[in-house]
Chains A and B, each alone.
Chain A
């Protein structure tokens, strides 16, 4: 079964420091990977995606993610965290099968950036 794992329930980082939110995946075939962010009482906002090409993917709000095939990882990174980055982050893999698609999400990681 295709899945993603987010091993950390919460990540704490001080403002201005680099942040990393971890994600590992298990898929058959080539993975289509995504990061989304969710703020309180809101839906999910798309941050970035990896389908093919460069292993380093740049996304919205200064976020980037590194695709590592040998380690089956797709960690989300940002060089300098902001307090406003505090939110719930979801890694997801797109599953395809005979014409349909769905996203399989990780359990989410809460990022808390302290001033």
Chain B
């Protein structure tokens, strides 16, 4: 069974641009969550999608948004990029709330 796939693995952008990150969950998993990992703040929850609906959002500005498609694939968008958005963005999927989340290898976003 293929794991969680995130594309691209690395991305370099400049301030003010926008970016879209993609996540393909494990087949059959309907819950997809996004996390931001930085050396200073650690791992922080961004949002969770389940069956195309955003169930919860973390404490991030409105520049961070996402969506989930009918095949459970998810995208995350960040607009008007700031230097502080440089981070490893991790996607995780699970079958349901009682099962552990499985993580992709992340997208490392660098803002110049």
Question: Among the listed B45, B48, B100, B104, which residue makes an inter-chain contact with A43, where contact means beta carbons less than 8 Å apart?
Answer: B104
Contact B98 A43 (CB under 8 A): no
Q: Does B72 contact A (CB under 8 A)?
A: no
Contact B103 A43 (CB under 8 A): yes
Residues in A72-92 with C-beta less than 8 Å from chain B = 90
Q: Does B58 contact A (CB under 8 A)?
A: yes
On chain B, which size bracket covers the interface?
20 to 34
Please, which residue of chain B has its CB at the minimum distance from the CB of A104?
Answer: B45
Looking at A44, A90, A107, which has the most chain B CB atoms within 10 Å of its CB?
A: A44
**B25-48 interface mask toward A, CB cutoff 8 Å, 1 = contact, 0 = none?**
000000101010000001101001
Q: Does B90 contact A (CB under 8 A)?
A: yes
Chain B facing A: main interface SS: strand
**B87-109 interface mask toward A, CB cutoff 8 Å, 1 = contact, 0 = none?**
00010100001101111111010
Contact B90 A102 (CB under 8 A): no
Residues of B within 8 A of A107 (CB): 42
Contact B105 A102 (CB under 8 A): no
Residues of B within 8 A of A103 (CB): 33, 35, 43, 45, 92, 101
Question: Among the listed B42, B97, B104, B105, which residue makes an inter-chain contact with A105, where contact means beta carbons less than 8 Å apart?
Answer: B42
Q: Which 3 A-B pairs have the closest CB atoms?
A: A100-B56, A100-B55, A43-B103
Sample of 20 A–B contacts (CB below 8 Å) = A34-B100, A43-B4, A43-B103, A43-B104, A43-B106, A44-B103, A46-B101, A46-B102, A94-B97, A100-B48, A101-B33, A102-B33, A102-B45, A102-B48, A102-B58, A103-B43, A104-B45, A105-B43, A107-B42, A108-B42
